[in-house]
Chains A and B, each alone.
Chain A
Amino acid sequence: MLECLWLIPALPFAGFLVLSLAGRRLSHRAIALVGAGSIGLSAAVAGMVALGFIAAPPRGHAFTQTLWIWLDTAQFRPAVAFYLDPLSLVMILVVTFVGFLIHLYSTEFMIREEGYSRFFAYMNLFIGFMLTLVLADNFLLLYMGWEGVGLCSYLLIGFWYEEPQNGYAARKAFIVTRFGDTAMAVGLFLIFTHLGTLQIQDTMLRARELWPAGSTLPTVAALLLLGGAVGKSAQLPLQTWLPDAMAGPSPVSALIHAATMVTAGVYLIARNHVLFSLAPAVLTLVAVVGAVTLLLAGFSALTQHDIKRVLAYSTISQIGYMFLALGVGAWSAAIFHFMIHAFFKALLFLGAGAIILALDYEHNMFKMGGLRRQLPVTFWTFLIASGALSAVPLVTAGFYSKDLIIWQAYASTRGGMWLWAAGIAGALLTSMYTFRMVILTFFGPPGMEVSRRPGWRMTLPMAVLAVLSLTAGFLDVPRSLGGIPVLSNFLKRALPAAISAGVRVGREGLFEAISGTVSLVGILLIYLFIRRIPRFTEKLVHSGAGAFLHRLWFAGWGFDLLYDRIVVHPYVWLARINRNDVIDRFYRWIAWINRLASCGLSRTQTGRIRSYALGITLGAVIILGLVVFL
């Protein structure tokens, strides 16, 4: 059963090939079948592989399947090989299953678009690369998946290529992540040079042997890998590309910029936990980056008009939670939150897509309103997902995953008060911006007329995801509430358990209660601000300090402006003034001197006999003189 592992990435790649070569000649039905079907098959195979893995775990809880040796030169032998362990298993299940649901949704969402086959070709290619990334046995193959998902992200953000802004957003995404990717590449060079291999498990073993904890080499290596992770996962300081990436179609945002690609950084750090554990300074940095990002993004989300931008900042914020978890050593908590987040965030984006489609591509929430009667299914699923995002206690899955992280931020040996406080503040912000979105969109007087209602192909995936957003949390119920951490146990083989600083179960219960209360308080607060005291809120927003903060948060804390000034403008300016290549001037100058000399010398050819005679005479005199006197 496990031998079918290679099919999981191969099927989407096959789908891509079929659609890119023959796509234009196929009917919409056929395209949808191939596009969504390949992912569906892949998900089915993944399910079977999972069953096989759980029922009869291989030796060491890890299975490697080598397809061929990619390169073999000078002791560098990366193979195209897949590695299956509990961590990658969870990842592929989420990627294929959520991917399939989103593909199904897209078959209806994109139906009126020209480029239907192109869309599914790119989406399939993306899933193929994402699965390669997650299943990669060595860093080189992982890097290939890494760059591949970046490519597909670029292609899909810029899907509606006729608008130059979309192209700009797509390029911004690719280039900003490229900065991170380059750092990661240098990290790979370092790892190979000092450890002699790029095979991930081998590097972990050797790093543990050779590198003492806290020394320079693992710290630099981990830092460089963190650079890559930060780029792909849109964390500080490379988070600027994600809000603009919302220029792509909503299914793209759901799949790539919520559920899968942006979590690649989380996966990278989790996969290399040994290396990061050898560099405690970097782990602390990971936690701090996560904490700061989640707060910054939360504030920004509170001020946005565009419904998708709220969700984008929300994604940045939630991934900040995952980074926070990784940084404090709560590895499986991060993966748990990744899974739950994939469910509810994809659902939120799909819901937003349904709304946008229904309102003829209107994104501005302030123009919406009162949609709960007109789009009931969308409303209920959106509400459930929002609840999960806000970590509404006990009923939603988000409660279990996010609060596990917040708890670990306090309880773990690497955690502390500040990190916990950041987590709690972030939770408050999350509830506030989430329900601001819900209230503005679904409640209040109707803003626009609905022109299209979503069909079954859109509502079914949303419903499935809604159910998961409610129930998937029960996979890892904390002991304080009397549950069994199923997921953590499963992941224990691949990821070390979080080390708690010896706090009692009772304490945990108290903290859970605090988190739950905070999320509910957030919902209440925003309801008050918008519905009960709207004029006060208006005044607050327009007052001096309030307006400044509002503008600052709306512009993502000014990072875009900063990068524009420091990086983009100087580069473009430098390129422009040097367009004709200053070095060429040197050669043109040589040619010019030549021409000058030539002109000068040709003046001696006067055509006059007398001057020639003079020349001869002078020459003869000089030569004779030289001969006689030397």
Chain B
Amino acid sequence: MTSTPLAQVLMLAGLLFSLGLVGVLVRRNIMFMLLSIEIMLNAAGLAFVAAGSRWGSPDGQVMFLFIITMAAAEVSVGLALVIQLYHRLKTLDTDAARTLRG
């Protein structure tokens, strides 16, 4: 199988990461923020896998497994927090959670 050049995969990963980052920064709905964070995580995982494939080492795949596990844990906690937020503020708008201001 012809291996895709590392640079292109890393570029894809980078693009995905930026898209996810922009999503976190710009979206107000917390569900979408979580989605964007997932995209960022996946992008990072993609980078790892690409690197692993380039160097021919299984470490990249292992890292991706870690990332998936961590993402799952994070999503479960995050969704629990979202439920709490919804109960308190009756909205999913993050800008509504502003009481801790200076």
Report if A and B associate in a common complex: yes
Residues of chain A touching chain B, judged by Cβ–Cβ distance below 8 Å, are 601-610, 613-614, 617
Q: Could you tell me which residues of chain B, from 20 to 53, have a CB within 8 Å of some CB in chain A?
A: 21, 24-26, 28, 33
The reply to whether A610 and B102 contact each other, CB–CB distance below 8 Å, is no
B102, chain A: closest CB distance, angstroms: 3
**B97 surroundings in chain A (CB, below 8 A):** 607-609
**B102 surroundings in chain A (CB, below 8 A):** 601-607
The reply to whether A617 and B94 contact each other, CB–CB distance below 8 Å, is no
The reply to whether B25 and A610 contact each other, CB–CB distance below 8 Å, is yes
The residue from A602, A605, A608, A614 contacting B94, defined by CB atoms under 8 A apart: A608
The reply to whether A605 and B25 contact each other, CB–CB distance below 8 Å, is no
The residue from B28, B99, B100, B101 contacting A610, defined by CB atoms under 8 A apart: B28
A139, chain B: closest CB distance, angstroms: 69
The reply to whether A607 and B98 contact each other, CB–CB distance below 8 Å, is yes
* Nearest B residue to A599, CB-CB: B102
**A610 surroundings in chain B (CB, below 8 A):** 24-26, 28, 94-95
The reply to whether A607 and B99 contact each other, CB–CB distance below 8 Å, is yes
**A606 surroundings in chain B (CB, below 8 A):** 98, 101-102
In the bound complex, CA of A614 to CA of B23 (Å): 11
In the bound complex, CA of A613 to CA of B27 (Å): 12
Q: Given the known A-B contacts A602-B102, A603-B102, are A608 and B21 also in contact in the complex, defined by CB atoms under 8 Å? A: no
A623, chain B: closest CB distance, angstroms: 16
**A602 surroundings in chain B (CB, below 8 A):** 102
* Nearest A residue to B21, CB-CB: A617
**B101 surroundings in chain A (CB, below 8 A):** 605-608
**B100 surroundings in chain A (CB, below 8 A):** 605, 607
In the bound complex, CA of A614 to CA of B25 (Å): 6
**B26 surroundings in chain A (CB, below 8 A):** 610
A615, chain B: closest CB distance, angstroms: 10
Q: Could you tell me which residues of chain B, from 86 to 102, have a CB within 8 Å of some CB in chain A?
A: 94-95, 97-102
The reply to whether A613 and B25 contact each other, CB–CB distance below 8 Å, is yes
- Count the A-B residue pairs with Cβ separation under 8 angstroms: how many? 35
Interface size class of B (residues with CB under 8 A): 10 to 19
The reply to whether B95 and A608 contact each other, CB–CB distance below 8 Å, is yes
B29, chain A: closest CB distance, angstroms: 11
In the bound complex, CA of A340 to CA of B28 (Å): 107
**A603 surroundings in chain B (CB, below 8 A):** 102
B94, chain A: closest CB distance, angstroms: 5
* 7 pairs of A and B residues whose beta carbons are closest in the complex: A605-B102, A607-B101, A602-B102, A607-B98, A607-B100, A609-B94, A614-B25
A507, chain B: closest CB distance, angstroms: 101
The residue from B25, B28, B95, B99 contacting A617, defined by CB atoms under 8 A apart: B25
In the bound complex, CA of A617 to CA of B99 (Å): 23
The reply to whether A613 and B95 contact each other, CB–CB distance below 8 Å, is no
In the bound complex, CA of A216 to CA of B52 (Å): 101
A596, chain B: closest CB distance, angstroms: 14
* Nearest B residue to A606, CB-CB: B101
**A609 surroundings in chain B (CB, below 8 A):** 33, 94, 97
A599, chain B: closest CB distance, angstroms: 9
In the bound complex, CA of A473 to CA of B101 (Å): 98
A614, chain B: closest CB distance, angstroms: 6
Complex A-B: 19 CB contacts under 8 Å: A602-B102, A603-B102, A604-B102, A605-B100, A605-B101, A605-B102, A606-B102, A607-B99, A607-B100, A608-B97, A608-B98, A609-B33, A609-B97, A610-B25, A610-B94, A613-B24, A613-B25, A614-B25, A617-B25
In the bound complex, CA of A59 to CA of B102 (Å): 92
* Nearest B residue to A607, CB-CB: B101
In the bound complex, CA of A605 to CA of B99 (Å): 10
Other CB < 8 Å A-B pairs besides A605-B101, A608-B95, A609-B94, 14 of them?
A601-B102, A602-B102, A605-B100, A606-B98, A606-B102, A607-B99, A607-B101, A608-B97, A608-B98, A608-B101, A610-B26, A610-B95, A614-B25, A617-B25
B10, chain A: closest CB distance, angstroms: 15
In the bound complex, CA of A605 to CA of B100 (Å): 8
* Nearest A residue to B102, CB-CB: A605
* Nearest A residue to B24, CB-CB: A613
* Nearest B residue to A602, CB-CB: B102
**B98 surroundings in chain A (CB, below 8 A):** 606-608
In the bound complex, CA of A164 to CA of B39 (Å): 89
**A608 surroundings in chain B (CB, below 8 A):** 94-95, 97-98, 101
Query: Per-position contact with A for B1-28: 1 when CB-CB < 8 Å, else 0?
Result: 0000000000000000000010011101
In the bound complex, CA of A450 to CA of B84 (Å): 104
B30, chain A: closest CB distance, angstroms: 9
In the bound complex, CA of A607 to CA of B24 (Å): 16
**A605 surroundings in chain B (CB, below 8 A):** 100-102
* Nearest A residue to B98, CB-CB: A607
In the bound complex, CA of A608 to CA of B27 (Å): 12
In the bound complex, CA of A19 to CA of B94 (Å): 86
In the bound complex, CA of A454 to CA of B1 (Å): 141
In the bound complex, CA of A609 to CA of B28 (Å): 9
In the bound complex, CA of A357 to CA of B102 (Å): 79
* Nearest A residue to B99, CB-CB: A607
In the bound complex, CA of A601 to CA of B102 (Å): 9
**A614 surroundings in chain B (CB, below 8 A):** 25
In the bound complex, CA of A610 to CA of B29 (Å): 11
In the bound complex, CA of A605 to CA of B28 (Å): 18
Max chain A Cβ within 10 angstroms of own Cβ: one of B21, B25, B26, B102: B102
**A601 surroundings in chain B (CB, below 8 A):** 102
In the bound complex, CA of A169 to CA of B98 (Å): 70
A501, chain B: closest CB distance, angstroms: 95
**A604 surroundings in chain B (CB, below 8 A):** 102
* Nearest A residue to B27, CB-CB: A610
In the bound complex, CA of A604 to CA of B101 (Å): 9
B5, chain A: closest CB distance, angstroms: 22
**A617 surroundings in chain B (CB, below 8 A):** 21, 25
* Nearest B residue to A605, CB-CB: B102
* Nearest B residue to A611, CB-CB: B25
In the bound complex, CA of A606 to CA of B101 (Å): 5
Q: Could you tell me which residues of chain B, from 45 to 98, have a CB within 8 Å of some CB in chain A?
A: 94-95, 97-98
**B28 surroundings in chain A (CB, below 8 A):** 610
A594, chain B: closest CB distance, angstroms: 16
**B25 surroundings in chain A (CB, below 8 A):** 610, 613-614, 617
A616, chain B: closest CB distance, angstroms: 10
**B94 surroundings in chain A (CB, below 8 A):** 608-610
In the bound complex, CA of A609 to CA of B98 (Å): 8
**A613 surroundings in chain B (CB, below 8 A):** 24-25
**B24 surroundings in chain A (CB, below 8 A):** 610, 613
A415, chain B: closest CB distance, angstroms: 89
